[in-house]
A and B are shown apart, each in its own frame.
Chain A
């Protein structure tokens, strides 16, 4: 099986010489040597490796993937080092892939590890180390690979995007978004990049919160994006209003907010204030529209209950 997988990798795409990825050298992890399979996929070549799964990489900002086989006796690892355009993109894809938002003494980078896979993020790299056998005995070596690679990479400065969100989000729910594909996990507002994040290089922060409603606790999602100017944020809202998805029904709106209901009778609210666009979705009842965004052109048709505040 191992031989077959590695043979397949060898056939999968064009071979290029050289790599900038922080790959371990032969015997840097004792006994592990590079195999014959080594490839680099640049830009959209990624489709040839992970097909439709590459869309989210490209949306977030993908530069190059280096794939390197390693062997130690009958055991085999395949390292996939995804070099993203910047450290935020790398963190975003790591979190999108479900990586745990933690750094431990075992590996000084965000990481998750199992018997078959280690994934971690450091600087501009998102890395997966795949164990072909899944043997428990090679997990320490998976982590050794991770430590060797992390040691070659600088620690990226804090991007500060977490501060866009209020504290108290549910563990494991923090995400970084750069376009409609990433946002799909929360809501589909309409076709295309209505919020203009991709074109403008805007990174939004998103997380889930526990909210109370008439029927008990519910999970709502909050997404916050900072635009270059207040006008930019206002235009994004107007575009959503003009091209709202057919399964969303507008409830009330103004130049600074849109309250809508989805097909499951849940509510969403978009507000813009001073260049900040905030989107909250999955409310079981209409959330209150802040006075600051309910301007003179506001048309509100719904009663606003007071039991929908975020805990």
Chain B
């Protein structure tokens, strides 16, 4: 059902829905008859499917950890803009470092060292989740990763306790996240893809199967990675998604190795929604996600972030808007890429995505894009608030803007 903010129509001007259906009377019945027995063009099923059952209640039942999102600053978003960060195509590392420092200290109200102590403890292994989609323009900037690593190591975290990670090894490589570029830091992917059946090991399982935790999963009843529309065949799906049943297993990197997560998303759209803080992890930390797009869409972002292995470890989010892409994302489309010179900071990924969704919609409108603001594209954010994962009500979000 529509949420309250969107049902405030003047009913005196409109038909009640039940009245409308009743008024349709014979017409609706005729339509139904034609659907069943009429011309071919009318035979596509139109019934609205119910949302499939998931194991979200299992996640909710686990007591929240001390660092659980939305963290110490629910509803707080810091927006740092510095037009000097780009010189032509080049990102200026020094400016990025200043922007990063400004963002962290404004977010926490503390020094960089004290901020570090707010989020991290001795013995932590910190995973930096990047977004490698869309190089060379709209992936997470390598210079931003540098700034994060410098902060962590400068505060005493050994470099070998830092892991820069994403789901696919090939994407990490293509975007430049290599051992050579980040010496001393571990670069890790949850999985690989291989051609011609080479993805299967001697035991008949995907060669990356052991990278996923069979005890920690997102379960969606009746939604399997078999016969998924859009894939050539089930084997093709398996290559890309490792598993194809009702279970999406989280990477062991997330469940067993890293103890804290820093989420470095990118400022870009996906259709009429956005692909930023919540989606970077929602579709990036587990396998067998291809089956989820159609039945659940952006709702996956919310439920996956509710999993304790993410919820309790995600301590910081930065959205990289040094460049943005306002249309045809998340893949690169150059004509929609623009210099935005901005980084967003927060511990609350839902507040950040709420703010960025509205700002990107404004940009899209300003650029003449036909924007559909249907509530379905932001329902997952309100759902996140209902689950206590963050704030999605703009009235309750504070955005602090810093412009150099």
Q: Is B52 in the interface zone, CB < 8 Å from A?
A: no
Q: What residues on A are CB-neighbors of B43 within 8 Å? A: 199
Q: What residues on A are CB-neighbors of B46 within 8 Å? A: 190-194, 239, 243
Segment touching A, from B102-110, B156-164, B171-179, B306-314: B171-179
Given contacts A8-B173, A11-B195, A134-B89, contact A200 B370 (CB under 8 A): no
Which of B38, B39, B327: most chain A Cβ within 10 A? B39
Q: What residues on B are CB-neighbors of A164 within 8 Å? A: none
Nearest CB of A to B95, in Å: 20
B186-225 contact mask (Cβ, 8 Å, vs A): 1 or 0: 0000000111100000000000000000000000000000
Contact B236 A115 (CB under 8 A): no
Nearest CB of B to A80, in Å: 11
Q: How far is the CA of A202 from the CA of B39 in the complex (A)?
A: 13
* The one of A47, A170, A190, A229 that contacts B230, using a Cβ cutoff of 8 Å: A47
Contact B232 A48 (CB under 8 A): yes
Q: Is A117 in the interface zone, CB < 8 Å from B?
A: yes
Contact A173 B170 (CB under 8 A): no
Contact A98 B333 (CB under 8 A): yes
Contact B375 A48 (CB under 8 A): no
B234-267 contact mask (Cβ, 8 Å, vs A): 1 or 0: 0010001000000000000000000000000000
Q: Is A168 in the interface zone, CB < 8 Å from B?
A: no
A237-260 contact mask (Cβ, 8 Å, vs B): 1 or 0: 011011111110111110100000
Contact B20 A250 (CB under 8 A): yes
Q: Is A25 in the interface zone, CB < 8 Å from B?
A: no
Given contacts A7-B173, A8-B173, A241-B28, contact A301 B13 (CB under 8 A): yes
Q: What residues on A are CB-neighbors of B30 within 8 Å? A: 238
Q: What residues on B are CB-neighbors of A51 within 8 Å? A: 290
- What's the tally of chain A residues with a CB closer than 8 Å to chain B? 84
Q: Is A187 in the interface zone, CB < 8 Å from B?
A: yes
Contact B331 A50 (CB under 8 A): yes
Q: Is B359 in the interface zone, CB < 8 Å from A?
A: no
Q: Is A307 in the interface zone, CB < 8 Å from B?
A: no
Q: Is B57 in the interface zone, CB < 8 Å from A?
A: no
Contact A44 B42 (CB under 8 A): no
Q: What residues on B are CB-neighbors of A227 within 8 Å? A: 41
Q: What residues on A are CB-neighbors of B10 within 8 Å? A: 265
Contact A236 B370 (CB under 8 A): no
Nearest CB of A to B76, in Å: 28
Given contacts A44-B232, A238-B27, contact A52 B34 (CB under 8 A): no
Nearest CB of A to B383, in Å: 16
Q: Is A45 in the interface zone, CB < 8 Å from B?
A: yes
Q: Is A157 in the interface zone, CB < 8 Å from B?
A: no
Segment touching B, from A27-35, A53-61, A148-156, A268-276: A53-61
Closest A residue to B132 using CB positions:
A8
Q: How far is the CA of A235 from the CA of B36 in the complex (A)?
A: 12
Q: How far is the CA of A32 from the CA of B382 in the complex (A)?
A: 52
Beyond A5-B174, A173-B370, A253-B24, 8 additional contacts (C-beta under 8 Å) are A5-B135, A47-B240, A48-B231, A191-B48, A228-B41, A229-B39, A241-B24, A251-B13
Interface residue ranges, A against B (CB under 8 Å): 1, 4-5, 7-8, 11-15, 42-48, 50-55, 58, 97-98, 112, 114-117, 132, 134, 170, 172-173, 184-188, 190-194, 196-200, 202, 208, 221, 227-229, 231-232, 235-236, 238-239, 241-247, 249-253, 255, 261, 263-265, 297, 299, 301-302
